[in-house]
Amino acid sequence: MRRRFFWWAVLTLVFLVHLWGLYTPGSEGGSTLPPGSDKVAHFGIFLGMALPLLALGFRARLVLPVMAGYGVVSELLQDFLVPRRSGDPLDWCADLVGLVAALVLVRWVAPRERRGAAEPETPTEPPAR
């Protein structure tokens, strides 16, 4: 129960950060951030949204294509609707890398957790005869 609450809380927090980061109008003078930092943000946001969904048990074959499609939509929305913002195909590539990273983490960590829980305790004394 706590683990599910944790993942839902992470998803909610990352989603709110995502809404703020991707859909707030750009600044008048341009970005003061280092070049490429937006790619790191896209990677982190999509990793941060996909990882909780996968950890909560949503199927990768549903999460990944839906979120990849949403990445395209978010770039189009930024390009056409958000003042002083533009869509960038490289941002979408960073989104995809974040999605793949989430999948790799879930596929790598989950089996290790199951293996650790499934291993029986080794007895400290030999069984009595």
Average pLDDT along the chain:
86
Nearest to residue 15, comparing CAs of 41, 44, 37, 45?
45
Q: What is the pTM of this model?
A: 0.80
Higher-pLDDT residue of 115, 90: 90
Question: Is it the case that residue 52 has pLDDT exceeding 90?
Answer: yes
Q: What is the mean pLDDT of residues 117-127?
A: 53
Residue 19 banded pLDDT, cuts 50, 70, 90: very high
The encoded tokens of residue 48 equal: 């941060």
Residue 95 banded pLDDT, cuts 50, 70, 90: very high
